[in-house]
Amino acid sequence: MPESNFVDYVKICCRSGKGGAGNVHFHRDKHTTKGGPDGGDGGKGGSIILKGNSQLWTLLHLKYRKHVIAEAGENGGAKLCTGADGKNEILEVPLGTVAKDAETGEVLFEISTHGQQEILLSGGRGGLGNNNFKSATQQSPRFAQPGEPGKEEWKILELKILADVGLVGFPNAGKSTLLSVVSAAKPEIADYPFTTLVPNLGMVSYRDFKSFVMADIPGIIEGAHEGKGLGTRFLRHIERNATLLFLIPADSKNIKEEYKILVNELKLYNKELLNKKRLLAISKCDMLDEELMKEMKKELPRNVPHIFISSATGLNITELKDKLWQMINEA
């Protein structure tokens, strides 16, 4: 996915449609010179609706659409004719999109299934025609309701990537390389930090034609929860992953300390992330022999299962898939 094409945050001005006015009219024909009221109701103003689309992976199509305006409802007519409703404005969004109020920051709803529809901003109700106000004491009402005005509000749409496995690690830990080996994804790979600037998704093939989705999240650094490095911009994507795969290279100075820092950053951002299944993968192990791996195991964290892998040689890649598949189904 090209960097410029991945957009996970947009702020849009939404304006719903005004309701149509009720009609003031009295029945007239060649046989009736003074008939009763027959003014119709006004139509409802158009609403702005979000609709889930599993084929979308980004909010790019909404990035430059700063104003979304729905149609107004039509006024009521004679002979009890109701005005037409204003056309709804339907915005298709990827699954995992969260809608928020721009002023208060309140979360309104989340789109999580294909075809799910939620009203982002409802249109104004149509006014009642004078036919609705006739009574025994008021047989010829000469008034009707105006249509309810539409609303104009700023809304924020945030995308949290839906994936079975989220790759967590410091920059240059080998996350993009692993994703390129286990899936058909082609993320940018280079020997310098922060090569990955946007999340990358890959479909990992498993046994018996099964598969699961893996997400390469841009590298975390100490203080990310406070906005350092790439900051909290991508931490929210980890919230939607069923399982977290921590990746730390074998040449790290202190694997246990790096793991502790990564877990602490997730905890400070959102404590609920610690409830997810976790697996620690020691990457870049192609230069290690069995004896060295055995020695390294003594220094690894005790509270998380681990596996030694190499994306270059394929060491334990099949075993890694097996462990992840088991964890996904347990989660």
Give 208-236 pLDDT, tens digit per residue. 888 888 888 776 655 544 444 444 556 77
- In this prediction, residue 194 carries a pLDDT of 42
Q: How many domains does the chain have?
A: 2
* AA letter at 268: L
Residues 76 and 146 grouped into a single domain: yes
Mean pLDDT, residues 161-190 taken together? 78
pLDDT averaged over every residue in the chain: 87
- In this prediction, residue 228 carries a pLDDT of 46
Find, among 256, 12, 8, the residue nearest to 121 by Cα: 12
- For residue 155, pLDDT over 90 is answered with yes
Of 151 and 228, which is predicted with more confidence? Answer: 151
- In this prediction, residue 160 carries a pLDDT of 83
Residues 290 and 214 grouped into a single domain: yes
Residues 69 and 169 grouped into a single domain: no
Distance from C-alpha of 258 to C-alpha of 216, rounded to nearest angstrom: 18
Quickly list H helices, the chain.
Answer: 60-63, 175-182, 235-238, 255-269, 290-297, 317-330
Distance from C-alpha of 282 to C-alpha of 268, rounded to nearest angstrom: 24
Q: Among residues 100, 135, 159, which one ends one of the domains?
A: 159
Return the CA Rg of the chain.
29
Residues 152 and 27 grouped into a single domain: yes
Q: Among residues 122, 144, 159, which one ends one of the domains?
A: 159
pLDDT bin (cut points 50, 70, 90) of residue 314 is: very high
Question: What sign does the CA torsion over 110, 53, 44, 13 have?
Answer: positive
Distance from C-alpha of 228 to C-alpha of 219, rounded to nearest angstrom: 11
- 279 three-class SS: strand
- In this prediction, residue 176 carries a pLDDT of 85
pLDDT bin (cut points 50, 70, 90) of residue 202 is: confident
CATH of residue 170's domain is: 3.40.50.300
- In this prediction, residue 3 carries a pLDDT of 44
Percentage, residues of the chain above pLDDT 70: 89
Residues 89 and 198 grouped into a single domain: no
Maximum pairwise Cα distance, the chain: 106
CATH of residue 139's domain is: 2.70.210.12
User: Which contiguous run of DSSP H or E holds residue 246?
Assistant: strand 241-249
Mean pLDDT, residues 96-100 taken together? 94
- In this prediction, residue 199 carries a pLDDT of 72
- In this prediction, residue 5 carries a pLDDT of 59
Please give the structure tokens belonging to residue 43: 């139509």
Of 98 and 191, which is predicted with more confidence? Answer: 98
What's the domain range around 12? 1-159
**How many CB atoms neighbour CB 271 within 10 A?**
9
Find, among 43, 25, 27, 45, the residue nearest to 35 by Cα: 27
Residues 118 and 203 grouped into a single domain: no
- For residue 152, pLDDT over 90 is answered with yes
Least confident of 14-28, 220-234, 315-329: 220-234
Token pair 């921590």 in the structure block, residue: 246
Tens digit of each residue's pLDDT (9 = 90 or more) over 60-97 = 899 989 899 999 999 999 999 999 999 999 999 999 89
Please give the structure tokens belonging to residue 127: 């006014």
Count of residues for the chain? 331
- 89 three-class SS: strand
Least confident of 2-6, 39-43, 154-158, 324-328: 2-6
- In this prediction, residue 186 carries a pLDDT of 64
Residues 169 and 222 grouped into a single domain: yes
Residues 181 and 316 grouped into a single domain: yes
Residues 122 and 201 grouped into a single domain: no
Residues 184 and 151 grouped into a single domain: no
- In this prediction, residue 8 carries a pLDDT of 82
- For residue 319, pLDDT over 50 is answered with yes
Mean pLDDT, residues 93-109 taken together? 94
Please give the structure tokens belonging to residue 173: 């830990």
Mean pLDDT, residues 47-54 taken together? 96
Distance from C-alpha of 246 to C-alpha of 230, rounded to nearest angstrom: 18
Residues 209 and 289 grouped into a single domain: yes
Q: Among residues 159, 194, 219, which one ends one of the domains?
A: 159
Residues 320 and 227 grouped into a single domain: yes
Distance from C-alpha of 163 to C-alpha of 96, rounded to nearest angstrom: 10
- In this prediction, residue 53 carries a pLDDT of 95
- In this prediction, residue 80 carries a pLDDT of 94
- In this prediction, residue 32 carries a pLDDT of 83
- For residue 196, pLDDT over 50 is answered with no
Distance from C-alpha of 45 to C-alpha of 104, rounded to nearest angstrom: 25
User: Contact at 8 Å (CB) between 258 and 222?
Assistant: no
User: Contact at 8 Å (CB) between 288 and 262?
Assistant: no
- In this prediction, residue 2 carries a pLDDT of 41
- In this prediction, residue 26 carries a pLDDT of 94
Chain-centroid distance, C-alpha 200: 15
